[in-house]
Amino acid sequence: MIDLFLHAAILTTTPILLAAIGGLVNRIGGLVNLGLESMMLAGALVAVEVSSAASSAALAIVAAGAIGAVVGLTMSLVITRLRANEIIVGLGFTVAVAGLVRYLLKSLYGVSGTYNPPGVVMLPRLDIPFLDGVPIVGAILSRQDALTWFAWAMVPAVAFALTRTRWGLRLRATGSAEATVRAVGLAPLRIRDISTLFAGAMAGLAGAYLSIGIVGLFNEGITGGRGFIALAAFYFGRMSPARTALGALLFGFFDAAQIRLQGRGVPAELVQTLPYVIVIVVLTGLGVADWRAARERTL
């Protein structure tokens, strides 16, 4: 029982975590990405299509990451080069890509809503034989797929890259001191574009995970607002990968709980609001802390 729940919770955490890590890097580079949902949706569709056409899950993942990166870069260019507001452009991408995906489903495949081509190869689950029977640890670690392992490996990797590498320093400087970056001869807009490209790729992988990792088909509602939950996760995490992962894990647990609670008298819709409520609470808490600090300074 608890094993099943834990396993499900890790499963539902993965897409949120992938997208949240991307969004975090993007935000550190100075762009709040509200288009993650659209990149996820594009990744989910392309993963199903490639997996079915090429019979290869690996190829499908690469293609999903690539399409997410393309959507991300397009969005980034509009924001950085045409100096457009990131919030509206992000929401606009969410609307336009959702429309485009449904439009293409109808006009290319003649289906509305669900696309289920034959021969979709699912992501293989990796068994760890000696852990399989172990309660809790086995449920968490064994029979997860490569993308889940990748998502969790990205947490320390991104933390390391941000604090210990030249690239990380440049990225952080782009987000917090754009003029300085320009003054030392680097191109902050290009760095920001690359961070959005990365976020798009991560969101594309998250989409692939939803379509060929969990269900094995594409549905227009497959992302179900997870791009925005990822936003909630990286807001929860502020600028830290570890805290962002914690947020993603928390929201993944809510997601799994919400699925299990359906039909048991606990309103699933109310559980779904929790990530959003928590973000408002966290932001309020930060606001109060800032206000206290400011008051102490003036005293």
Partner 1 sequence: MMNARWSVYLVRSATTAAPFALAIAIGAVVLAATGHEPLAVYQLMVEEAFGGERRIAATLTAATPLLLTGLAAAVAFRAGIFNVGAEGCFYLGGMAAAVVGYASPNWPSTLLIPLALAASGLVGGAWLLGPGVLRARLGVDEVVTTLMLNFIAVDLTSWLVNGPLLARGSANSATPQIVSNAELPRLLPPSTLHLGFVLSLSLVVAYGFWGRFSVEGFRSRLVGLSARFSRAVGIDPLRIFVGVMVASGVIGGLAGGIHVLGLVHRFVAGFSPGYGFTGVAIALLARNSAFGVALAAILFGALSSAGANIQLFSNVPLEIVEILQGAVMIFAVAQFGFGWAGHRLGP
**Contacting positions for partner 1 (CB under 8 A):** 27, 30, 32, 34, 78, 82-89, 91-100, 102-104, 106-108, 225, 228, 232, 235, 238-239, 267, 269-270, 272-273, 276-277, 279-280, 283-284, 286-288, 290-291
Q: Which is nearer to partner 1, 152 or 228 (CB)?
A: 228
Q: Which is nearer to partner 1, 125 or 292 (CB)?
A: 292
Give the count of beta carbons closer than 10 Å to the beta carbon of residue 270. 11
Q: Which is nearer to partner 1, 110 or 185 (CB)?
A: 110
Longest CA pairwise span in the chain (Å): 70
If you write DSSP's letter for every residue of 124-179 in order, what string do you get? Answer: PEE--GGGTTSTTHHHHHTTEEHHHHHHHHHHHHHHHHHHHSHHHHHHHHHHH-HH
State the nearest-atom distance from the C-beta of 245 to partner 1, in Å.
Answer: 19
Q: Which residues of 144-167 are buried (b: 16+ CB within 10 A; e: fewer)?
A: bbbbbebbbebbeebbebbeeeee
List all residues 6 or more positions away from 190 whose beta carbon is below 8 Å from its beta carbon: none
The sign of the dihedral angle between the CA atoms of 105, 106, 108, 111 is positive
Q: Which is nearer to partner 1, 68 or 213 (CB)?
A: 68
State the nearest-atom distance from the C-beta of 217 to partner 1, in Å.
Answer: 19
State the nearest-atom distance from the C-beta of 131 to partner 1, in Å.
Answer: 37
Rounded Cα distance between 182 and 82, Å, is 18
Q: Which is nearer to partner 1, 157 or 270 (CB)?
A: 270
| Angle at the Cα of 90 from the Cα atoms of 172 and 171, rounded to 5 degrees | 10
| Angle at the Cα of 229 from the Cα atoms of 121 and 253, rounded to 5 degrees | 75
Query: Cβ distance 252 to 16 under 8 Å?
Result: yes
State the nearest-atom distance from the C-beta of 269 to partner 1, in Å.
Answer: 4
Return the closest-CA partner of residue 61 out of 140, 145, 119.
145
State the nearest-atom distance from the C-beta of 229 to partner 1, in Å.
Answer: 9
Q: Which is nearer to partner 1, 102 or 143 (CB)?
A: 102
State the nearest-atom distance from the C-beta of 279 to partner 1, in Å.
Answer: 5
Q: Which is nearer to partner 1, 120 or 257 (CB)?
A: 257
State the nearest-atom distance from the C-beta of 87 to partner 1, in Å.
Answer: 6
